Amino acid sequence: MKKPFRTIHYAPLLCYDARTLRTLSHPILAMRHILALFLLASFTLAACSDADTEAPVISDLVITPTPGVGIVCGEEDPLVISVLSGDSLTISMTVTDDELLSQYKIDIHQNFDCHGHSRLATTDWEVIDIVDITGTSATIQRTVHVSDSATAGTYHFSILLADFFGNSASTEHFSINVLNRDDTVPPVLTVTLPSTSDLTVSLTDTIPNDSIIFAGNVSDNLDLGTGGNGRVELRFWRDSSANVFMLYNESFFEGLGSALDFDFVATVPPTLAAGGYIFELRAFDGVNNPAVPVIFNVTVE
């Protein structure tokens, strides 16, 4: 029998229900039961018709701090938890199953670049916690500490539950917005070029018009390079797709100051199909606090 998150058990020829599992814990009864199974196995190799297929349930879930509305990857998310590095969040829930519970899992990992899961200069906060549980009902109380050195940014947070027979509850999904305790002030991104947010590039002309000049300034309350994550970047995606591609990335080195100018030329990939694209210019300070991004609507011909 496969336990969904970690350990693999090999299934017998016949299915066990919860009462059988308790019987097998008694040595004498277990021997009698194994002999009976051996005799019965000669008559059937088919799966049991009454195998448990009912999923376990997570109920009475309370998260502190309370989730609220936030912006994640450019879209509104109603389940965003805001915390400071060094703080904690608490989880309270009831888990139930009709036969036998197996494990629950708490999974927290960074989502800084919206599902790309790239690494930054500082320490990413990560929690992968798998806990064995038994019986048909349990009340779970957990406290999860946010690392003192956690990189500021958005993290995925999921709670999963499985029973002994491999059935899974509906996964509970949240986003966590971590702010650095020592610097909660985001930088300010000012763009001077392009002067308009609606742009057109041509990849079909004899002399392609396939370049866009970006220029502007990033300012902050502290040195933009301190912490190792200061940068300006340009990424894009098709307006009908969720696939995000990085087009430009420039890091800010420590000691350059709290206000820096940028100026670069972005060449549109010649392989892009004609149509509409979203170009997003972003800036971050040294601890990864994000500035408000600037959006451009680009039509490729």
Per residue in 190-228, pLDDT (tens digit) is 999 999 999 999 887 666 678 999 999 999 999 999 888
**For 57-179, CATH number?**
2.60.40.2550
pLDDT along the chain (301 residues), means of 10: 47 42 46 44 44 94 96 86 95 97 96 63 80 96 92 93 96 94 93 96 76 96 91 92 89 93 94 93 93 94 89
Q: How far is residue 232 CA from its own chain's centroid?
A: 23
Domain boundaries, the chain: 57-179, 188-300
**Two tokens, residue 290:** 């994000």
Q: Closest Cα to residue 154, out of 105, 107, 113, 106?
A: 113
Strand pairing partners for 127? 108
**For 188-300, CATH number?**
2.60.40.2550
The per-residue pLDDT for 6 is 52
Cα radius of gyration rounded to whole Å, the chain: 27
| Residues 151 and 178: beta-carbon distance below 8 Å | yes
Strand pairing partners for 173? 158
In the block, residue with structure tokens 């195998």: 51
The per-residue pLDDT for 106 is 97
Asked if the domains 57-179 and 188-300 are classified in one and the same CATH topology, the answer is yes
The per-residue pLDDT for 119 is 53
**Two tokens, residue 224:** 């933009």
Is the pTM higher than 0.85? no
Burial of 69 (C-beta count, 10 Å sphere; 0-12/13-18/19+): exposed
Q: How far is CA 113 from each of CA 83, 108, 122, 240, rounded to the nearest angstrom?
A: 19, 15, 15, 19
The per-residue pLDDT for 36 is 45
Per residue in 231-245, pLDDT (tens digit) is 999 999 998 887 889
Burial of 148 (C-beta count, 10 Å sphere; 0-12/13-18/19+): middle
Provide the H-helix boundaries in the chain.
Answer: 18-23, 27-41
